[in-house]
Amino acid sequence: MKVIKTEIEGLLIIEPDVFGDDRGYFFEGYRKNSYRELGIEFEFVQDNISKSQKGTIRGLHYQVGKSAQGKLCQVIYGKVLDVALDIRFESPTFGQYYSAVLSDKNKKQLWIPPGFAHGFSVLSTETIFSYKCTEYYSKKDERSILFNDPELNIDWKVDDPIVSEKDLTAKLFKDIEKDFSYKSTQP
Protein backbone atom coordinates (compact mmCIF):
# COMPACT_ATOMS: atom_id res chain seq x y z
CA MET A 1 0.00 0.00 0.00
CA LYS A 2 1.20 3.50 -0.83
CA VAL A 3 0.51 6.41 1.53
CA ILE A 4 0.66 10.04 0.47
CA LYS A 5 0.73 12.77 3.12
CA THR A 6 -1.20 15.83 2.02
CA GLU A 7 -0.27 19.44 2.69
CA ILE A 8 -2.76 19.43 5.59
CA GLU A 9 -1.47 17.55 8.62
CA GLY A 10 -3.50 14.43 9.40
CA LEU A 11 -5.08 13.94 5.97
CA LEU A 12 -3.75 10.93 4.06
CA ILE A 13 -4.32 9.53 0.59
CA ILE A 14 -4.06 5.75 0.66
CA GLU A 15 -3.48 3.74 -2.50
CA PRO A 16 -4.07 0.05 -1.76
CA ASP A 17 -2.16 -2.69 -3.52
CA VAL A 18 -4.46 -3.89 -6.28
CA PHE A 19 -4.02 -7.33 -7.79
CA GLY A 20 -5.63 -7.74 -11.20
CA ASP A 21 -5.94 -10.47 -13.78
CA ASP A 22 -8.33 -11.45 -16.56
CA ARG A 23 -11.09 -12.10 -13.97
CA GLY A 24 -10.96 -8.59 -12.51
CA TYR A 25 -9.16 -7.32 -9.43
CA PHE A 26 -8.73 -7.83 -5.68
CA PHE A 27 -7.55 -5.48 -2.94
CA GLU A 28 -7.92 -5.13 0.81
CA GLY A 29 -10.21 -2.17 1.47
CA TYR A 30 -9.27 -2.22 5.13
CA ARG A 31 -6.92 -4.23 7.30
CA LYS A 32 -6.67 -3.06 10.91
CA ASN A 33 -2.97 -3.77 11.52
CA SER A 34 -1.89 -2.11 8.24
CA TYR A 35 -3.84 1.06 9.03
CA ARG A 36 -2.50 1.13 12.59
CA GLU A 37 1.01 1.16 11.12
CA LEU A 38 -0.03 4.34 9.29
CA GLY A 39 -1.05 5.94 12.59
CA ILE A 40 -4.78 5.37 12.08
CA GLU A 41 -5.37 3.80 15.46
CA PHE A 42 -9.08 4.44 15.66
CA GLU A 43 -11.66 1.71 15.86
CA PHE A 44 -14.26 1.94 13.11
CA VAL A 45 -17.80 1.45 14.41
CA GLN A 46 -20.05 2.32 11.47
CA ASP A 47 -19.94 1.95 7.67
CA ASN A 48 -22.00 4.35 5.55
CA ILE A 49 -22.84 3.95 1.89
CA SER A 50 -24.63 6.49 -0.28
CA LYS A 51 -25.76 6.43 -3.89
CA SER A 52 -25.95 9.78 -5.68
CA GLN A 53 -26.42 11.15 -9.15
CA LYS A 54 -24.14 13.47 -11.12
CA GLY A 55 -23.98 17.00 -9.75
CA THR A 56 -24.94 16.05 -6.20
CA ILE A 57 -23.01 17.79 -3.42
CA ARG A 58 -23.18 16.33 0.09
CA GLY A 59 -21.59 18.35 2.86
CA LEU A 60 -19.80 19.95 4.51
CA HIS A 61 -20.62 17.81 7.56
CA TYR A 62 -18.98 17.05 10.89
CA GLN A 63 -19.88 15.94 14.40
CA VAL A 64 -18.70 17.41 17.70
CA GLY A 65 -17.83 16.27 21.21
CA LYS A 66 -17.63 12.57 21.90
CA SER A 67 -19.36 11.97 18.55
CA ALA A 68 -16.54 13.56 16.49
CA GLN A 69 -15.82 11.22 13.61
CA GLY A 70 -12.78 10.18 11.66
CA LYS A 71 -13.69 8.87 8.20
CA LEU A 72 -11.98 6.50 5.78
CA CYS A 73 -13.57 7.33 2.42
CA GLN A 74 -13.62 5.47 -0.89
CA VAL A 75 -15.74 5.10 -4.01
CA ILE A 76 -17.24 1.71 -4.84
CA TYR A 77 -18.65 2.83 -8.20
CA GLY A 78 -18.22 6.10 -10.10
CA LYS A 79 -16.18 9.19 -9.32
CA VAL A 80 -16.31 12.01 -6.74
CA LEU A 81 -14.38 15.06 -5.69
CA ASP A 82 -13.85 14.41 -1.97
CA VAL A 83 -13.27 17.49 0.20
CA ALA A 84 -11.94 17.84 3.76
CA LEU A 85 -11.94 21.27 5.46
CA ASP A 86 -9.65 21.92 8.45
CA ILE A 87 -11.81 23.25 11.30
CA ARG A 88 -9.18 22.84 14.04
CA PHE A 89 -8.74 26.28 15.58
CA GLU A 90 -5.06 27.36 15.86
CA SER A 91 -4.08 24.90 13.11
CA PRO A 92 -1.66 26.42 10.58
CA THR A 93 -4.11 25.23 7.89
CA PHE A 94 -7.33 26.28 9.67
CA GLY A 95 -9.94 27.16 7.05
CA GLN A 96 -8.04 25.46 4.23
CA TYR A 97 -9.44 22.53 2.35
CA TYR A 98 -7.97 19.58 0.54
CA SER A 99 -9.71 17.86 -2.35
CA ALA A 100 -8.97 14.64 -4.18
CA VAL A 101 -10.67 12.68 -6.92
CA LEU A 102 -11.68 9.24 -5.66
CA SER A 103 -13.04 6.70 -8.10
CA ASP A 104 -13.67 3.03 -8.68
CA LYS A 105 -10.85 3.22 -11.24
CA ASN A 106 -8.08 4.73 -9.03
CA LYS A 107 -9.31 2.96 -5.85
CA LYS A 108 -7.77 5.71 -3.68
CA GLN A 109 -8.97 6.27 -0.14
CA LEU A 110 -8.94 9.51 1.85
CA TRP A 111 -8.39 9.34 5.63
CA ILE A 112 -10.04 12.31 7.36
CA PRO A 113 -9.39 12.47 11.13
CA PRO A 114 -11.71 14.22 13.60
CA GLY A 115 -11.42 18.01 13.34
CA PHE A 116 -12.40 18.26 9.69
CA ALA A 117 -15.66 18.98 7.90
CA HIS A 118 -16.28 16.59 5.01
CA GLY A 119 -18.19 16.69 1.76
CA PHE A 120 -18.11 15.38 -1.77
CA SER A 121 -19.48 16.16 -5.21
CA VAL A 122 -20.46 13.54 -7.76
CA LEU A 123 -18.52 13.78 -11.03
CA SER A 124 -19.81 10.63 -12.77
CA THR A 125 -23.35 9.76 -13.92
CA GLU A 126 -23.89 7.84 -10.69
CA THR A 127 -21.73 7.08 -7.66
CA ILE A 128 -21.74 4.68 -4.76
CA PHE A 129 -19.65 6.26 -1.99
CA SER A 130 -18.52 4.39 1.13
CA TYR A 131 -16.95 5.59 4.34
CA LYS A 132 -16.00 3.95 7.60
CA CYS A 133 -16.62 6.09 10.72
CA THR A 134 -14.85 6.07 14.08
CA GLU A 135 -17.99 7.14 15.97
CA TYR A 136 -21.71 6.53 15.55
CA TYR A 137 -23.93 9.08 13.85
CA SER A 138 -25.48 11.48 16.36
CA LYS A 139 -28.14 13.90 15.13
CA LYS A 140 -27.70 16.19 18.16
CA ASP A 141 -23.94 16.45 17.57
CA GLU A 142 -24.13 16.92 13.79
CA ARG A 143 -23.03 20.26 12.31
CA SER A 144 -22.82 21.61 8.75
CA ILE A 145 -20.97 24.38 6.95
CA LEU A 146 -22.44 25.96 3.82
CA PHE A 147 -20.92 24.15 0.84
CA ASN A 148 -20.70 27.32 -1.28
CA ASP A 149 -19.49 29.72 1.42
CA PRO A 150 -17.64 32.44 -0.54
CA GLU A 151 -14.95 32.64 2.16
CA LEU A 152 -13.99 29.00 1.47
CA ASN A 153 -14.19 29.30 -2.34
CA ILE A 154 -14.34 25.52 -2.88
CA ASP A 155 -14.45 24.48 -6.54
CA TRP A 156 -16.74 21.46 -6.43
CA LYS A 157 -16.34 20.85 -10.20
CA VAL A 158 -20.12 20.85 -10.79
CA ASP A 159 -22.16 23.48 -12.64
CA ASP A 160 -25.72 23.02 -11.33
CA PRO A 161 -25.38 21.35 -7.92
CA ILE A 162 -28.09 19.17 -6.43
CA VAL A 163 -28.08 19.95 -2.70
CA SER A 164 -30.32 19.00 0.23
CA GLU A 165 -32.33 21.63 2.08
CA LYS A 166 -30.21 20.92 5.18
CA ASP A 167 -27.00 21.70 3.30
CA LEU A 168 -28.49 24.84 1.69
CA THR A 169 -29.22 26.29 5.14
CA ALA A 170 -25.93 25.34 6.85
CA LYS A 171 -23.78 27.83 8.80
CA LEU A 172 -21.17 30.06 7.24
CA PHE A 173 -17.60 29.06 8.10
CA LYS A 174 -17.03 32.29 10.07
CA ASP A 175 -19.93 31.36 12.36
CA ILE A 176 -18.78 27.89 13.47
CA GLU A 177 -17.99 27.32 17.12
CA LYS A 178 -14.57 26.34 18.44
CA ASP A 179 -15.39 22.65 18.69
CA PHE A 180 -11.88 21.47 17.72
CA SER A 181 -8.46 22.73 18.67
CA TYR A 182 -5.20 21.89 16.97
CA LYS A 183 -2.65 19.49 18.43
CA SER A 184 0.31 18.79 16.18
CA THR A 185 1.31 15.18 15.63
CA GLN A 186 4.59 16.18 13.97
CA PRO A 187 7.81 15.41 15.89
Which residues have a catalytic role annotated? 61, 131
Handedness of CA 134, 139, 144, 147 (dihedral sign): positive
